[in-house]
Amino acid sequence: MQNNRQINKSGELQHLLTIEGLPVSMLHHILDTAESFVGVTEREVKKVPLLRGKAIFNLFFEPSTRTRTTFEIAAKRLSADVINLNISASSQSKGETLLDTVNNLSAMHADMFIVRHAQSGAAHLIARHVAPEIHVINAGDGRHAHPTQALLDMYTIRHFKRDFHELRVAIIGDVMHSRVARSQIHALTTLGVPEVRVIAPKTLLPKGVEHLGVHAYHDMSKGLKDVDVLLMLRLQNERMQGALLPSAQEYFKYYGLTPEKLALARPDAIVMHPGPMNRGIEIDSSVADGPQSVILPQVTFGIAVRMAVMSILAGS
């Protein structure tokens, strides 16, 4: 059996591959560190020299704009050298294997890999085969995990709600195909949120999702009742084609977040979304741009959280 290798023998973070199995103290340590970096991002000179001389490779086997950019900004604010590789367009199409690509880049003296890949487990595979001084950050692997997204979501919740122990949180949408949802669930349950709900039609919930420690709802009016935090998920257009959903219209009618449905939650509930949003499919524009939306602060905090993760890894 292969273990989760992200914590080294001294109990330090060696890689960030998934939230699963991380101790609560580690999560708080990351969030606290991020808090100290928020100040940096607001300064006139937005740079600290913590990662000076380090080579960080953004290894994106799947297209991404937002995540890649925020990692790049975060690395640059830590004074690291960032190399962006868009692999889907180069070596993979020439038949090079994932590990060959990684080995070649390791030979160029990489210090850290930030990996996005369409297959669940890709980041674990890489972490298992890199030299011990190289760190791997999972920036999204298939349907499995997107730990930095979940951490920035937790940062945002903590910023607006302070305490995790009295919250009711609902994750709404395509949980089945979502790496974000899986990481959010692990983060919320680890941080002690007493009630985590998932709301979706049965075709978009994976089997046995309750085993992850959540309550499954299929009806927004029940699932949103008295909720403090709403975590919306992106619904990809291709999901409309198979036999998962009949149409965008029907999905929006029953599961799209409108002001009426939001009114079922607590009056001070906050609305979050990992982006990019499909307005009019999973979320109504008036909610996305409304007073309860914290979607833009999420993006800002994302940079500080990624700085925190990189600096903690580099220090281990």
Q: How many CB atoms lie within 10 A of CB 314?
A: 16
Q: How far is the CB of 122 from another protein (least distance, A)?
A: 4
Nearer to another protein, 40 or 99 (CB): 99
Q: Which of residues 13-42 bind another protein (CB under 8 A)?
A: 17, 20
The SS3 assignment for 264 reads coil
Of the pair 189, 293, the CB lying nearest another protein is at 189
Site membership for another protein, residue 97 (CB under 8 A): yes
CB 250 within 8 A of CB 140: no
Task: Map residue 208 onto helix, strand or coil.
Answer: coil
Q: How are beta strands 168-172 and 135-141 bridged, if at all?
A: unpaired
Q: How crowded is the C-beta side of 255, counted as CA atoms within 13 Å?
A: 29
Total number of residues that touch another protein (CB under 8 A) = 31
> 69: helix, coil or strand?
helix
Per CB under 8 A, which region of 34-42, 122-130, 251-259, 288-296 contacts another protein? 122-130
**Closest CB 119 distance from another protein, rounded Å:** 3
Asked if 230 and 272 touch (Cβ cutoff 8 Å), the reply is yes
Chain positions 141 to 180 lying near another protein, rule: CB under 8 A, are: 141-145, 179
C-beta atoms surrounding 309 within 10 Å:
25
- Name the one residue in this structure whose structure tokens are 């919930």: 205
Among the listed ranges 124-132, 192-200, 251-259, 300-308, the one in contact with another protein (CB under 8 A) is 124-132
CB of 141 to another protein, least distance (A): 8
Contact 316, 8 (CB under 8 A): yes
Minimum distance, C-beta of residue 184 to another protein, in the bound complex (Å):
13
Report how far residue 61's alpha carbon sits from residue 63's, in angstroms, rounded to the nearest whole number.
7
| Choices 72-80, 91-99, 159-167, 271-279 (CB under 8 A): range interacting with another protein | 91-99
Q: What DSSP string runs through 21-32?
A: T--HHHHHHHHH
Query: Least separation, in Å, of the C-beta of 300 and another protein?
Result: 28
Looking at the Cβ atoms of 75 and 85, the one nearer to another protein is 85
Q: Rounded to the nearest whole angstrom, what is the least distance from the CB of residue 28 to another protein in the complex?
A: 23
In this chain, which of 64, 69, 120, 316 binds another protein, going by CB under 8 A? Answer: 120
Residue 50 Cβ vs another protein, minimum distance, rounded to whole Å:
29
CB 235 within 8 A of CB 251: yes
Using alpha carbons only, what angle is made at residue 6 by residues 9 and 230, rounded to the nearest 5 degrees?
135
Among 211, 247, 268, 291, binds another protein (CB under 8 A): 211
Site for another protein, rule CB under 8 A: 1-5, 17, 20, 97-99, 117, 119-122, 124-125, 129, 141-145, 179, 182, 206-209, 211-212
